[in-house]
Amino acid sequence: MTEAYIYDAVRTPRGKGRKDGSLHEVTSVALSATVLNSLKERNGLEGHAVEDVIWGNVTQVKEQGGCLARTAVLASDLDEMIPGLAINRFCASGMEAVNLAANQIKGGAGDAYIAGGVEMMGRVPMGSDGAAIAVDPSVAMDMYFVPQGISADIIATEYGFTRDQADQLAVESQRRAAMAWDEGRFDKSIVAVKDINGLTILDRDEYMRPGTDMQSLGGLKPAFKEQGEVMPGFDKLAIMKYPHLEKINHIHHAGNSSGIVDGSAGVLIGNKEFGEKYGIKPRAKIRQTCKIGLDPTIMLTGPVPATQKILKDAGMAISDIDLFEVNEAFASVVMRFQQAFDVDSDVINVNGGSIAMGHPLGATGAIIIGTLLDELERQDKETGLATLCIASGMGAATIIERV
């Protein structure tokens, strides 16, 4: 089978997903085009250089509607002969784009792809697509649908995680992210966002709060307690499904959950012949990919079964992995992963994660693959695993290996 190699990975800085955020006036199309243009320029791509652009985005309405991938290609400097495919696997959309591209290459369907994603959460609010899984009673009631924040608190209750543990993880995420930026660990991959006059709008993740400590987090109210206990009372629905819990322990708040931000990321993937044609060297190969479904109510435990599946499929053990990126959707997601595999925290999210820097839904999967690759190179390690939890009860994972 043909190998699929990662040749390059870039991302924009993540902007606050609010009207006062630096990227609020930048559209999803423009931010995507920034990433596409960077990959084209950095690698000397010409003409119909890649088979397709596969682009993830979650809230596919308004400016993120239609086939955003194709629109982004046309708005970029890429050749118009390159098509585009927009996909949605919720929070793993950017990863699924990469995995799909890699598997297309392995199957002989083209020499190269650009894959990644975007989410402008400040311009196209999460949930504004009115998805049936959340609003159609004939679907939602049958599957005991609860919002993701409630699911995160269910995980904390089920597996015994405390508010202090969640806050400690959040403080550490902030510390690591600040250190990574201060030491220039993201420099290889960051593409500054500029306006039409070429002036820089944003060149650094702006959501971070490096001064975060246990005291400041201690003053925050649980974000999902009222939603669970009062209106509309999702805790009762959850306990109908999991009666052994008796009561949901609400430990999550804005400080130990992922941030609402704007961002985009892309990965250039190709076979050996593609690299030889353009005179570029591969940085890693995509060794294995996977996706899996699971309980849609607790929903966010996906990184555990996804990791179990991908390791089995690859014929590997958890000890074969040097570094991990586990998306920090909520603190309990990462804590559950650590608990399940007894993995040292020193090799998980070495440079912080979405609690500190934010989670632009459709882009994050591609972001963490690029971050993992950069860190493997920095530490001169060989193999890394990236994984995400996914809304409605799914998980996805990717194993990369340096070459």
**Active-site residue list:** 91, 359, 389
Outline where 10-112 has alpha helix (H): 28-43, 68-75, 93-106
Cis-peptide into 232, omega within 30 deg = yes
Centroid of chain to Cα 397: 11
Cα-only R_g, the chain:
20
How far is the C-alpha of 403 from the C-alpha of 397, rounded, in Å? 20
Sole residue written with tokens 């949930």: 127
Which residues make Cβ contacts (< 8 Å) with residue 244, sequence separation at least 6?
A: none
Closest residue by Cα to residue 167 from 250, 260, 255, 259: 255
Structure tokens at 41: 């320029």
Coil, helix or strand at residue 395: strand
Contact call for residues 70 and 110 (beta carbons, < 8 A): no
Q: How does DSSP assign 220-280, residue by residue? A: SPPSSHHHHHTSS-HHHHHHHH-GGG-S------TTSB---EEEEEEEEEE-HHHHHHHT-
Contact call for residues 120 and 88 (beta carbons, < 8 A): no
Structure tokens at 318: 């958890």
Contact call for residues 217 and 256 (beta carbons, < 8 A): yes
How far is the C-alpha of 327 from the C-alpha of 51, rounded, in Å? 29
207 strand-pairing partners? none
Centroid of chain to Cα 254: 18
Other CB atoms within a 10 A radius of the CB of residue 327 amount to 30
Q: How does DSSP assign 368-386, residue by residue? A: HHHHHHHHHHHHT--EEEE
